[in-house]
Amino acid sequence: MDYFLELCLGGLTRGSIYALIALGYTMVYGIIQLINFAHGEIYMIAAFIALIVSAILTINGFTGVSILIIAAVIAILYAAAYGYTLERVAYRPLRNAPRLSPLISAIGMSLFLQNYVLLAQTPDFLPFPELLPEFEFMDPVAHLIGSAELVILVVTTVTMLGLTFLIRSTRLGKAMRATQQDMTMARLVGINVDRVISLTFVLGSVLAAIGGVLVGSYMGQINFFIGFMAGVKAFTAAVLGGIGSIPGAVLGGVVLGLTEALAAGYISSAYEDVFAFGVLILILVLRPNGLLGRTVRTKV
Amino acid sequence: MLELRNVSTFYGPIQALKGISLSVATGEIVTLIGANGAGKSTTLLSISGVAPPKRGEILFEGSPIHTLPAEKIVSLGVAQVPEGRRIFPQMSVRENLEMGAYLRRDNAGVARDVEKVCELFPVLAQRRQQLGGTLSGGEQQMLAIGRALMARPRLLLLDEPSLGLAPLVIRQIFATLQQLNREEGMTIFLIEQNAHQALKIAHRGYVIENGVLTLSDKAQTLLDHPDVRRAYLGG
């Protein structure tokens, strides 16, 4: 029983990270029907920024949680700038082009950013400092869930609640929903649609950056390729939940994380990806729009 | 209040408007009638900045607006009720109305105007929490008009508000437009295929064919005009 619980908590932790990154895919897709393949790279770049900043801070005598917070904030700012620039450079000029063009542009940006980091840094794995704090009060349950996992779960949950509030209740959130539902009408009520799209990329990048810092610290090492695999998994989570649906991305992430953890725990960790993608295929066969995806009805 | 000078608008290589010139004075109801594909909707989208003209000028209260982005034009006081109503389907009636007031910052005023719109269209008051997509066609049209009014426009543009609605509902909506014009002095530019209804409430009218204006006169004169009768009023 303890083993099962441990696997579930581990799966939840992993799934919450997938969900965080999946939100970026799904928000962008919801508004401009584009799969932003370079989204995983933003996550990877944020992890590198956090690594560089924490190295600098450590040299200058900073310690503990202050490093984590400063590194995370700077990584988030960098990621936001990257996300904004990405949209301006690679997608906005193609706004009225056929749908395949921005998709190819997205793959191009993904390869470019990966190779840029490969050249600027190194192809090898770099050790990432353990920034997540260790709590003593966690000792009695340490065999089920570690401090780092608890921090990840709390941070991702709070972030997602914040996002839900933002989308439901703020002016920007309303503008995002209106743009998603009818872009022309959004312009006719006075919404600056270009700005909403930019801010959607910024928001998605912020979420990816939070994920990047958490995972970097949790896994203890990063390289230029981590964004690709995380991107594939998060994209899977987004499709699983129903791409374009925000609760769907969260649910998809959790389902994917749990599937992987249970498959790794009971069968073999060599097969966890097989099960992850197996679940994706199964759900796409049974529910082609994903778990919470809406059936698109074309109204005449 | 509104003046179009020699406006030409293109969709890619297709020229939808071929040098349109027209004007709407403060306090008027002006209608533009024409068949499907004549360029009626394009005219409104050009005014609103969604399909900016390639040539010509659009002036609102004397200053050019054809180079401004759509949201600037709304903020100057031009609101549109678009073709097909375009209600935000996943938002409640109340949220749809609030979206109409997106550029306004006076929350108390917005809340008061929601009540005003609900008085104007009592059926919306009952449906306040219902999702926009679940309303009937007539209710959606009323909501679309209400949403445009939420911007406190000085010029109201309407694109075929009668489309697909029952005659009774059409009469009700046109009566409301006339009431808005008479009681609040709202300037209205109305586009219609339903020429009879439109000309009955309008002061002046224009006829558009294949992107060119072919007639322009007082509404009553157009109602009696043999060409208009033959083409748009069934003899």
**Closest residue on chain A to B152 (Cα):** A189
Q: Closest Cα partner for B161 from B150, B152, B172?
A: B172
Tokens of B74: 């709304």
- Contact: A181, B71; criterion CB under 8 Å: no
Which of B83, B88, B136, B155 should we substitute to test contact with A (largest number of A Cβ atoms within 10 Å)? B88
Q: Tell me if ipTM is over 0.95.
A: no
Q: What is the pLDDT of residue B235?
A: 58
Please give the Cα distance from B221 to A18 (Å, whole number): 68
Please give the Cα distance from B206 to A117 (Å, whole number): 62
Partners of A182 on chain B (C-beta within 8 Å) are 86, 88-89
Q: What is the pLDDT of residue A215?
A: 93
Phi, psi dihedral angles at A181 (to 5 degrees): -80, -35
Please give the Cα distance from A201 to B139 (Å, whole number): 35
Contact between residue A299 and residue B140 where contact means Cβ atoms under 8 Å apart? no
Partners of B50 on chain A (C-beta within 8 Å) are 184, 187-188
A103 burial via Cβ count (<10 Å: 0-12, 13-18, 19+): middle
Q: Closest Cα partner for A14 from A236, A278, A167, A205?
A: A236
Partners of B49 on chain A (C-beta within 8 Å) are 187
In sequence order, what are the beta bridge partners of B33?
Answer: B192, B207
Supply the mean pLDDT for chain A: 92
A139 burial via Cβ count (<10 Å: 0-12, 13-18, 19+): exposed
Helix/strand/coil for B20: strand
Q: Which residue shows structure tokens 């703020």? A: A170
Partners of A187 on chain B (C-beta within 8 Å) are 48-50, 70-71
Please give the Cα distance from A208 to A200 (Å, whole number): 12
* pLDDT tens-digit profile, chain B (235 residues): 999 999 999 998 899 999 999 999 999 999 999 888 889 999 999 999 999 999 999 999 999 999 999 999 999 999 999 999 999 999 999 999 999 999 999 999 999 999 999 999 999 999 999 999 999 999 999 999 999 999 999 999 999 999 989 999 999 999 999 999 999 999 999 999 888 899 999 999 999 999 999 999 898 898 888 888 888 776 5
Q: Which of B86, B95, B99 sits opposite A184 (nearest CB)?
A: B86
Q: What is the pLDDT of residue A134?
A: 84
Contact between residue B1 and residue B174 where contact means Cβ atoms under 8 Å apart? no
> Averaged in consecutive runs of 10 residues, what is the pLDDT profile of chain A (300 residues)?
90 94 94 93 96 94 89 97 96 91 95 95 92 83 86 93 93 95 95 96 96 93 93 93 91 94 91 89 88 63
- What domains does chain B contain, in order, with CATH numbers? 2-86+152-232 (3.40.50.300)
CA dihedral B4, B10, B11, B17 (to 10 degrees): 50
Q: Which of B71, B89, B100 sits opposite A187 (nearest CB)?
A: B71
Which of A189, A195, A196 should we substitute to test contact with B (largest number of B Cβ atoms within 10 Å)? A189
Q: Which of B75, B82, B88 sits opposite A190 (nearest CB)?
A: B75
Q: What is the pLDDT of residue A297?
A: 52
In sequence order, what are the beta bridge partners of A198?
Answer: none
- Contact: B80, A188; criterion CB under 8 Å: yes
- Taking the domains of chain A in order of start, what are their residue ranges? 225-295
Q: What is the pLDDT of residue A295?
A: 61
